[in-house]
Amino acid sequence: MSARFKLDETLPREARVFLADAGHDAHSVSHERLGGGPDARVLEACLNEDRILVTLNLDIADIRGYPPSSHRGIWVLRPATQSIENILAVLRGAVALSAKEPTDRRLWIVEETRVRIRE
């Protein structure tokens, strides 16, 4: 199933290419001139466009500031190191899980060996 994503500026361009090649609609914060803006502005754009935010930014994982009920979904990727290969490996795992697990109104913390989901 195809999904709609917005990739934070912290992610390499290869992440957008991977998602597009997998049949997903993926936009980049940088290409939309949202880079460097406040997290709330990026999340508002995601909500308006019905997109899941994918990021490496741990600040946005604070459910007190960004409750899961207020957005389409957030995936915070937590690779062991922030190499392109490790980021893509964690992203591949999240995409595979999203075929079975809902993302709407959920925060996913995606690590190499597990995914923690907050509703």
Q: How do the domains of the chain map onto residue ranges?
A: 4-118
Q: Supply the pLDDT for residue 104.
A: 94
Average pLDDT, the chain: 93
Q: Which of 46, 51, 76, 50 is nearest to 63 (CA)?
A: 76
pTM for the structure as a whole? 0.93
Residues paired with 63 in a beta bridge: none
Q: For residue 50, count other CB atoms closer than 10 A to its CB.
A: 13
Q: Supply the pLDDT for residue 115.
A: 97
Q: Supply the pLDDT for residue 35.
A: 73
56-99 pLDDT, tens digit per residue, is: 999 999 999 999 988 889 999 999 999 999 999 999 999 999 99
Q: How confident is the model at residue 34 (pLDDT cuts 50, 70, 90)?
A: confident
